Amino acid sequence: MIMQKKINCIILASGNGSNALNLIRIFHTDAGEDKSAACSINISAVVSNIEKAPVIEKVRIAAPDIPVFFLPYASVSEREYFEKELESIIRKYNINCIILAGFMRILSKEFVSKFHKKIINIHPSLLPAFKGKDAIKSAFDYGVKYTGVTVHYVTPEVDAGPVICQEVVKIEENDTLETLELKIHDMEHKIYPAALKKIFI
């Protein structure tokens, strides 16, 4: 008999939720009862800091059995409350891994240090290039010929933690910002599950 180690993950997302939905499909919906791997990734809960973020409704429809929470965090003044509530959800669901999937807020140094090597982020550029917001547009506007996607551990310094996986996306002459965004998202949907499998399975 294979002994299973379950990794309970919580997803934090602020927007559209394509990465959150993709991870839920792979590790929750499509995984079904097939938990034969020695270690299984369990999506235990989803948190959004934006009340009207599409991700909330999308997860509720796609996976009604996954609890979804709205915890307000729009301005820095709300961070302390957000992190306190998040910690109680983390305890309640025995979370071992915090997955940032388009989470557009900065976590405090104290919070990040408390969950050292337990917070993972995806960023739409080849870090350390194009850190911060609007990374796809920044790379496109700069005129680089290659950009990409990075999955990395979160450390107190923003977009600077150890790299877990990185993939290149070529910017072709005929690419527009819209086609580049589609290519980046396609790559994200491949690389994020692959990175989690690399760490845990």
The piece of 14-22, 38-46, 79-87, 108-116 that touches ligand GAR (CB under 6 A) is 14-22
Candidates 41-49, 59-67, 83-91, 118-126; binding stretch for ligand GAR (CB under 6 A): 118-126
Among 47, 90, 98, 101, binds ligand GAR (CB under 6 A): 101
List helix spans (H) across the chain.
18-24, 54-62, 79-92, 109-114, 135-142, 177-200
∠ Cα 88 91 93 (to 5°): 110
Say how far apart CA 172 and CA 76 lie, in whole Å: 39
Could you say whether residue 18 binds ligand GAR (CB under 6 A)?
Answer: yes
Q: State the residue number with the nearest CB to ligand GAR.
A: 102
**Near ligand GAR by CB under 6 A, which window of 9-17, 35-43, 89-97, 112-120?**
9-17
Rounded-to-integer distance, Cα 188 and Cα 201, Å:
19
161 binds ligand GAR (CB under 6 A): no
Does 188 help bind ligand GAR (rule: CB under 6 A)? Answer: yes
39/70 with CB nearer ligand GAR: 70
* Six token digits for residue 94: 């025995």
| Pairwise CA distance, residues 49 & 125, whole Å | 23
Cα–Cα distance, 18 to 195 (Å, whole number):
16
Nearer to ligand GAR among residue 122 and residue 164 (C-beta) = 122
Confirm whether 123 is a catalytic residue.
yes
Minimum Å gap between C-beta 36 and ligand GAR is 28
Q: Does 155 bind ligand GAR (CB under 6 A)?
A: no
Q: Is 90 exposed, middle or buried (0-12, 13-18, 19+ CB in 10 A)?
A: buried
Which residues of the shown chain bind ligand GAR in the complex (CB under 6 A)? Answer: 13, 15-20, 101-102, 122-124, 135, 188
